[in-house]
Structure 1
Amino acid sequence: MFKTTVVGNYPKITEDKTAVNLRRARNRFDQKKISAEKLEQAYQETIKRVIKEQEEAGVDLITDGQIRWDDLVTPFARNIQGMEIGGLLRFFDNNVYYRRPIIKSKLSFRNYSVVEEFKFAQANSKKEIKPVMVGAFTFACLSLDEFYQDEEKLTLDLAEILHKEAEKLSQEGAKIIQIDEPSLCFYPEKLKLAKESLNIITQGINAKFALYLYFGSIKKLVPYLFDLPIDIIGVDVVSKKENLDLLLEYDGKKEIGLGCVDARNTMMEKQSDLIALFKKTAKRIPADKIWVNPSCGLEFLPHAEAQKKLKNMVEVVHSFNG
């Protein structure tokens, strides 16, 4: 049977006037109109709402929506010694931005980045929570290196730090840990370095690891992709249609995250189209090895559309499973 999950982030702001408005709370905090305690309460209420919405949609494996995150790298960059938070840069081909980390000296672990978030989410969820981490390769690609001047050394030092995070997440009960590596699609010639970094991150940890690639093609990564030291490969089959056929060269060993719901377009998927895609996929990949999920994080969508897309996705999977 197919299972369902999400890729990471979720819209922070809802049209529901009765819900906490996190943007307003953050603005009021910046203006010193509310306390840090009140802002924390707003975060917690928003996370609980996001968890509840995913549960009610029927998603099998959920996240906390990355509600405290401003982008993919900042939550980790602020907890690494030797790294500063720089100015805004465009995040891939999207109309959103991230703060570019700047490497000032040799990097070392300062503090855990998402462990407390995971613990809070799991304590407030009826379903399993999947924590998400940035991958070392993408982290290095999105950073400005003013110290190492050596991509390999930078990437592997980041991997050592991220290993500590993953290890602690596992100790706190995480059964599946997601690692985001969107940059790998755009630098396939660096796959060997990415593999080495993944070896370091995952080494000796008692959890499954899901590697998620989005926004780009996996054409130059297959078949080597299936040799990476991870358990689940999540691929965006919306941005690059060719990715689906490339996945069907799959060797049967790893689980697949099928990113078939467009998380960057409000147009609703036709259930008949999804069913046809599921049938095509199930002919080549065992159903119990397939996770159905959006093409990337849902925060690119308005809240109402994200909700509708999740519900539609789960409904089609349940119909297909029978």
Structure 2
Amino acid sequence: MSYNAIDTREQFRPDDHSTDHFLLTTVVGSYPKPKWLNRAKELHEERDSFTDEHLHEAEDDACRVITDEHERAGLDVVVDGEMRRNEMVEYFAHRIDGYEFNGPVKVWGHNYFDKPSVVGEVAYDEQWLVEEFEFTADAATRPVKVPITGPYTLANWSFNEAYDSEEELAYALADLVNEEIDKLVEAGCQYIQIDEPALATTPDDHAIVGECLERIADDVDDDVRLGLHVCYGDYSRIYPEMLEFPVHEFDLELANGDYDQLPVFTEEEFTKDLALGVVDAHTAEVEPVEVIKENIKKGFEVVPPERLTVSPDCGLKLLPRDIAYGKMENMVKAARQIEEELDAGEITVGYAGEKSGNSAAPADD
């Protein structure tokens, strides 16, 4: 497999893109659900007359609405906001043989997580995301990205009652994730994001994550873009080792920490694409365009413009929906203005430009 990220990136440049420079804009994954969808799920649990068919129709409608919302905000690559998913581990555990649920576990404060247990050998029971992708791709006019929870997080955030070690469980799950990604690619998906939020909180296991990713990426087509989303934690404990992972892009949460960890990625050259969090998913206010533009410029300290993706820090599902939309809209406006300023030579790219020998060159130079 080739890991030339530029080769996989240019396919997402819109045909009518008006500038030479191109900052790919997307979102991490989750998005606030319409209140009526939450009510539909309650009715499904409360009343026999509100059938599976009724719920699926509501989910379909929500996927159309949110996909359209992402397109109206101007994103280059959209997702459906994970309207069919409840939680990033639970959703998949319900679809994997070998898992069972025994009730919610308190994780912090008054928050509970329905933490599953692995009680037998894990096996691929049914497709996870293919139908979701196909529906969204039909509803969208722009390219669609699919986020999928990675095998290390699926293992780390579960009780292991069947395997000799968490490492062994993670490798077994990696083979299942590989199977699902093969099916997604077969269905036409060209951009897949693997979510491993557990990685930066358990950095000693980065070699396990690397082996999992090797298993996942083993036979993926060269033109399919693979990203890895890592949030929370101390990135200095996994950098630069993570650059060895077989992915094109790292999606990192940095805005929430006011970019205090940015220098970590300038100590040794960042050799992959960077999807930089430029709006904070944890604050219920819309950052002004000028603030977001300054955040985008911070990314040029790490990678040159042709390797920067512009994204929120993390999933937006916990925010009010109007705030989430405002963040996306301003994020896209900021990216487009930065592109124009790069074309005009008004922005000097810092450390990353020096490393690449490219101070502000168009993406196709």
Q: Would you call these one fold, judging by a TM-score over 0.5?
A: yes
How big is each residue's C-alpha offset from its partner over 1:267-292, in whole Å with a ceiling of 9 and x where there is no partner?
Answer: 22233332223223224412111111
1:59 and 2:75 are equivalent in the alignment: yes
Equivalent in the alignment of 2:64: 48
- Which deviates more from structure 2 when the two are superposed, residues 108-117 or residues 25-34? 25-34
1:219 matched to 2:240? The reply is: no
**Greater CA drift, 146-155 or 181-190:** 146-155
Match of 1:103 in 2: 118
Percent identity between matched residues is: 29
Separation in structure 2 between the aligned mates of residue 13 and residue 76 of structure 1, nearest angstrom = 22
Q: 2:247 aligns with which of 220, 230, 233?
A: 230
Q: Deviations over 1:91-122 (max 9, x none)?
A: 6x697543212111111111111111011111
Unaligned runs of 5+ in 1: 15-20
**Aligned partners of 2:305, 2:110: CA distance in 1, in Å?**
35
1:142-179, CA deviations, whole angstroms, 9 ceiling, x for partnerless residues? Answer: 00011113111111001011110111111111111000
- The structure 2 residue matched to 1:3, chosen from 16, 24, 28, is 24
Change over 3 Å in CA distance of 1:319–1:242 after alignment to 2 = same
Name which of 99, 102, 106 aligns with 1:83. 99
Q: Is the 8 A contact 2:274 2:307 kept in 1?
A: yes
Aligned-partner SS, 1:132: strand
Residue 17 of structure 1 is matched in structure 2 by none
Alignment of 1:52-201 (within 5 A): 52-89=68-105, 97-201=112-216
Paired residues of 1:260 and 1:293 also in contact (CA < 8 A)? yes
1:250–1:134: structure 2 CA closer, same or farther, 3 Å change rule?
A: farther
CA RMSD of aligned residues (A): 1.7
Aligned equivalents of 1:118 and 1:6: distance in 2? 15
* Closer/same/farther in 2, CA of residues 95 and 70 from structure 1, 3 Å limit: farther
Paired residues in the alignment total: 315
Distance 1:123 1:229 in 2: 30
- 2:27 is matched by which residue type in structure 1? V
Query: Aligned in 2, Cα 1:304/1:235: closer, same or farther, shift over 3 Å?
Result: same
Distance 2:191 2:200 in 1: 22
Give SS of 2:119's match: strand
Which stretch of the first structure deviates more once superposed, 269-278 or 283-292? Answer: 269-278
CA distance in 1, matches of 2:52, 2:207: 44
Residues in 1 aligned to 2:140 and 2:183: alpha-carbon distance in whole angstroms = 19
Give the structure 2 partner of residue 256 of structure 1: 274
1:315 aligns with one of 299, 314, 333: 333
Partner residue of 1:299 out of 311, 317, 324:
317
Q: Give the drift of 1:185.
A: 0.6
For the residue of structure 2 that corresponds to 1:107, the secondary structure is: strand
What are structure 2's unaligned runs of at least 5 residues? 1-21, 341-365
Alpha-carbon distance between aligned partners in 2 of 1:90 and 1:219, rounded to the nearest angstrom: 29
TM-score, with length taken from structure 2:
0.82
C-alpha separation between the residues in 2 aligned to 1:265 and 1:229?
32
The answer as to whether partners of 2:278 and 2:296 remain within 8 angstroms in 1 is no
Q: Aligned-pair distance for 1:318?
A: 0.9
Q: Structure 1: which amino acid aligns with 2:263?
A: D
